[in-house]
Structure 1
Amino acid sequence: MGCSPLGIFGRKNESHSEKSSEYIVNNTQSLKIDARLFINKRTGLLSQEYTIGPKIGAGSFGFVREATSINLKKKRAIKSIKKSEISQSLKERAEFVAEVNILIKTDHPNVVKLYEFYEDDRYYHLVTEFLTGGELLDFIIKRKWLCEPIAAHFMSQLLSGVAYCHSNNIVHRDLKPENLLLDKDTPEALLKIIDFGTSKIFDPTKRMTHKYGTVYYVAPEVLQGYYNEKCDIWSCGVILYLLLSGRPPFYAKSHEEILEKILKGHYSFEEPEWDEVSNDAKDLINQMLHRNYNFRISALDAQKHPWFLSQKCNGRRLSSQVRHKSALANLQNFRAECKFQQAVLTFIASQLLTKEESKRFIEAFKAIDTNGDGKLSKEELLQSYKNEINELSAIEEIEKIMKKADSNNSGYIDYTEFVIASAKSEMLLCNSNLEQAFKAFDTDGNGKISAEELKGILGNGLKANDEIWLKLIKEVDENGDGEIDIDEFKTMMMKLINQEI
């Protein structure tokens, strides 16, 4: 990451650019807004912000507990890492920092969401999504193995998250069913990749050498100490084999024997449970478990494999098409008059929406994201709109959409930006969401939002004239007192609903 192990705790916010200190804001429209602005390091007692519940997991360096935010009334999971356990090891400290920095950078429906992180005298605490469905491993154990449509449902989500990570030069390096959580214990569950402690931002021109992973799932080239991001694809291949058969492809009585089998790359489909499995499924496994990673399929290409097309449910496809069309219509109608409105919408979409509310957008997002990289390009939007309107009109609409919805000026529509622009404003702007958002911007709790508070939230790491923040206030400040109260705040946001009527 190019920072010292404790660099994140005094970090400049990098969401505006890779070199945020060189980024200069000249006007309000050039402000870059995205979900990472609201993932902050907090100090103080965790118990002042959360009602702490029971432990739901434990590891060598700490534990995970259920918790409820006192202000937001939202369930969260809190991963607590003992400082004493990692303070003596540069490696463990670097892994912790990597996990935080990577989760801050990610914005994908199949990657666990980080909300904030704390530091106290004894622990570091990561506050993430709370998922009630348990590990994918438990789901498999209960059912022994999965039918192909259910396996394809989970595998497509896993590959979508992996493709997004790889397209952003993130390699996980420890993919396994224990690190895949479900939002509920059903075959239709949403899957989330967790535990980025061994992850790394990689250089595509170089090979990695440090050996990470778990015995059954580790790629042969990792054992040899010379590998690239496709080590994750090998792990995905092992997971798919396990989903369809109930057993790993490389199995023996000792770890040494397992590693020897992995290095040889020999596995079979000769057991009876493979008799009913399609040749397409076996072919995808073969391509993911290619011993030579140079010839191993990529996450993007794996998502386009014929097996996934053959396993899609017609009912699910129809539902996706309906949501897809609704999302396209809402994208065209999206309006945000000022950057402050965009910032509030981003906070609500990234911090306050429930999993049930978010789910309705995921299928539509993925339907437009045809290359599966976890972000929407102009070309992908054009392809979708060409099915609804003529090409010339589609091009004009897309240019308008990019100007309105691409709030961080990345050239793409990220997942949270898509949720904001494709949702009906009344869903996002309910009274409770607006009140919670106001509290988030009113950092000193005096009932008013000042220019200084806006600067603290939206301007971290930027070179910007203070006039920028005063201008944002003036755009909303109806009574002219130089600050924004709750009524002015709500009036600003309700204008978005009035535009849709």
Structure 2
Amino acid sequence: MGCCASKSRDLEPRYKGHRSGGGVGGGVHYQKAHEPVVQQHKVQVHQAHQLPEKRPAAAHPEPHPGPKPFVPARSPKHVLRSDTILGKPFEDVKQFYSIGKELGRGQFGVTYLCTENSTGRQYACKSISKRKLVSKNDKDDIRREIQIMQHLSGQPNIVEFKGVYEDKQSVHLVMELCAGGELFDRIIAKGHYSERAAASICRAIVKVVHICHFMGVMHRDLKPENFLLSSKNENALLKATDFGLSVFIEDGKVYRDIVGSAYYVAPEVLKRRYGKEIDVWSAGVILYILLSGVPPFWAETEKGIFDSILQGEIDFHSQPWPSISSSAKDLVRKMLTQDPKKRITSAEVLEHPWIREGGEASDKPIDSAVLSRMKQFRAMNKLKKLALKADVDGNGTIDYIEFITATMHRHRLEREEHLYKAFQFFDKDNSGFITRDELESAMKDYGMGDEDTIREIISEVDTDNDGRINYSEFCTMMRSGTQPGKLF
């Protein structure tokens, strides 16, 4: 998307939160894995644009007790409108920022490039339409997301939160601009890859998990798409974005709502009884993909993916695993332990000999097939994301779900008319095929791809190799998980 703002969906029909929406290496310096250096400086935000300040994190790694109930900050000079969400008078974001080109869009809003009028610095502005925040839960969710972003802001591997504004139509979140793009795109563009590179990436991701848990936050939706690079520089930082499903950890509470993205969801989430250990599981899934190019649990249907997760059988026999070090496989096993009580913690991950800086991870190149599989996996997800931007319900929503792999709205995709409407979103001339030109046009409209990505998508989905995507191929792609036959 080009900014530290992304979007994803939960696994239940009832929305658990809207989305705001990664370079490798870099991150928080640790004296000990269990004693993270937490940056406590305050974010410089105009006070009128900030939610109530959170109290500083404790000096020891105990869970943050969570925020106090959101109390609107009433100004003696203003009478609050009944339709306010943030509990403060309306203000025009354009008084402080010049709004530029669109960077991306999702379920609840559009992200723009913006420039601060007083400094000329560039940021990302996510404008969320208030008419789409229809329920009390929707409004509570956006308040909580803003509070969590404000609470975590200042950490090197977490997107910096600048401020929030509200007017009659929208809530505007201003945050750090991440111009380096998505994690997988950077890996693929470099064209060479090693266990040491994978260890560096995973280390940065687990540092984010560790900081979140130290500061009393459970992320609940870790996946590669939620990590962007701060810039195009070689040493750019990996930044965690999208805290729309994150919650403040409450002592003793057992969480039961099903959230996350299908490939990355922990088994205890599917069993509706979980805690912060789910973030380590998700990071373990990402590590498996970094080393092999495919997720550890896949199937031709979403239900099959969930069944595979619950069975917990991890494939270490197919290529490239025989050539991957035993130390790397040991860490993957420990992160993907079924029993959350026996699963390795984020602090223990950072102490593992394979992932430590200067540790056992080899600089020997990994099989080039891994990058090819990663490209296919990325391309499929991008096409699904784009296809689901079709307004199949006719309600004005840009996309009724963002990723088929991130939702439990299976009943919608099982309805033929919804799939056909999504297909027609691409097939502008009603020829019965999605051509390269039609795909390119749609992707450019949403700023979602380049020539290589379009070529990858056509190659992956076009099973009869006629250079076009027919309706049958489209349905197979939309209803499936990762196709193992094509990846191995």
TM-score by length of 2: 0.55
Aligned position for 1:83? 130
Is contact 1:216-1:248 (8 Å) kept? yes
CA RMSD of aligned residues (A): 3.0
1:196 matched to 2:236? The reply is no
Distance 2:104 2:309 in 1: 29
Distance 1:19 1:159 in 2: 24
1:237 matched to 2:277? The reply is no
Distance 1:52 1:219 in 2: 39
In structure 2, the CA distance between the partners of 1:192 and 1:41, relative to structure 1 (3 Å rule), is farther
Aligned position for 1:98? 144
In structure 2, the CA distance between the partners of 1:211 and 1:304, relative to structure 1 (3 Å rule), is same
Distance 2:356 2:55 in 1: 36
Amino acid at match of 1:300: A
Aligned position for 2:222? 175
Distance 2:347 2:56 in 1: 27
Aligned position for 1:110? 157
Distance 2:311 2:103 in 1: 38
Q: Deviations over 1:163-197 (max 9, x none)?
A: 01101220000000110111134663311111101
Distance 2:251 2:172 in 1: 31
1:94 Cα offset (Å): 2.1
Aligned position for 2:313? 266
1:101 Cα offset (Å): 0.5
Please list, as runs of the form range in 1=range in 2, the aligned pairs for 1:448-467 lying within 5 A after superposition: none
Distance 2:159 2:299 in 1: 32
Name whichever of 280-289 and 177-186 sits farther off.
177-186
1:311 Cα offset (Å): 4.8
1:44 matched to 2:91? The reply is yes
Amino acid at match of 2:220: R
Give the 3-state SS of the residue equivalent to 2:323 in structure 1: coil
Please list, as runs of the form range in 1=range in 2, the aligned pairs for 1:214-229 lying within 5 A after superposition: 214-229=261-276
Q: Deviations over 1:199-222 (max 9, x none)?
A: 001123221111110011111100
Distance 1:67 1:98 in 2: 24
1:159 Cα offset (Å): 1.0
1:275 Cα offset (Å): 2.8
Distance 1:245 1:287 in 2: 17
Give the 3-state SS of the residue equivalent to 2:200 in structure 1: helix
Distance 1:72 1:205 in 2: 45
Unaligned runs of 5+ in 2: 1-16, 18-47, 58-65, 70-86, 362-488
1:138 matched to 2:178? The reply is no
Greater relative contact order (Cα < 8 A, sep 6+): 2
Give aligned-pair identity as a percent. Answer: 36
Amino acid at match of 2:103: I
Aligned position for 1:256? 303
Distance 1:254 1:94 in 2: 33
Q: Deviations over 1:282-310 (max 9, x none)?
A: 11111110011111111111111100237
Give the 3-state SS of the residue equivalent to 2:351 in structure 1: coil
1:290 matched to 2:330? The reply is no
Give the 3-state SS of the residue equivalent to 2:113 in structure 1: strand
Aligned position for 1:373? none
Distance 2:307 2:338 in 1: 13
1:139 Cα offset (Å): 2.8
1:19 Cα offset (Å): 9.3
Distance 1:136 1:41 in 2: 37
Give the 3-state SS of the residue equivalent to 2:297 in structure 1: coil
Q: 1:13 aligns with which of 53, 63, 70?
A: 53
Distance 1:114 1:230 in 2: 26
Q: Deviations over 1:366-394 (max 9, x none)?
A: xxxxxxxxxxxxxxxxxxxxxxxxxxxxx
Q: Deviations over 1:58-109 (max 9, x none)?
A: 11111211111111211101111111111x2233222211110111111311
Aligned position for 2:421? none
Amino acid at match of 2:293: G
Please list, as runs of the form range in 1=range in 2, the aligned pairs for 1:375-394 lying within 5 A after superposition: none
Amino acid at match of 1:102: I
Is contact 2:49-2:165 (8 Å) kept? no
Q: Which has the larger radius of gyration?
A: 1
Aligned position for 1:246? 293
Aligned position for 2:119? 72
1:237 Cα offset (Å): 0.3
Distance 1:85 1:296 in 2: 39
Is contact 1:171-1:199 (8 Å) kept? yes
In structure 2, the CA distance between the partners of 1:55 and 1:9, relative to structure 1 (3 Å rule), is closer
Aligned position for 2:8? none
In structure 2, the CA distance between the partners of 1:41 and 1:232, relative to structure 1 (3 Å rule), is farther
Aligned position for 1:119? 166
1:302 matched to 2:349? The reply is yes
Unaligned runs of 5+ in 1: 22-39, 315-501
Is contact 1:221-1:227 (8 Å) kept? yes
Count, aligned residues: 290
Amino acid at match of 1:237: G
Give the 3-state SS of the residue equivalent to 2:354 in structure 1: helix
Distance 2:161 2:121 in 1: 14
Distance 1:239 1:274 in 2: 15
1:252 Cα offset (Å): 1.3
Task: Name the one with the larger helix percent.
Answer: 1
Amino acid at match of 2:180: G
Distance 1:221 1:81 in 2: 32
Q: Deviations over 1:223-263 (max 9, x none)?
A: 11100001111100000111111111111111111111011
Aligned position for 1:364? none
Q: 2:110 aligns with which of 53, 56, 63?
A: 63
Distance 1:10 1:187 in 2: 33
Distance 2:88 2:287 in 1: 37
Distance 2:320 2:56 in 1: 51
TM-score by length of 1: 0.54
Q: Deviations over 1:361-420 (max 9, x none)?
A: xxxxxxxxxxxxxxxxxxxxxxxxxxxxxxxxxxxxxxxxxxxxxxxxxxxxxxxxxxxx
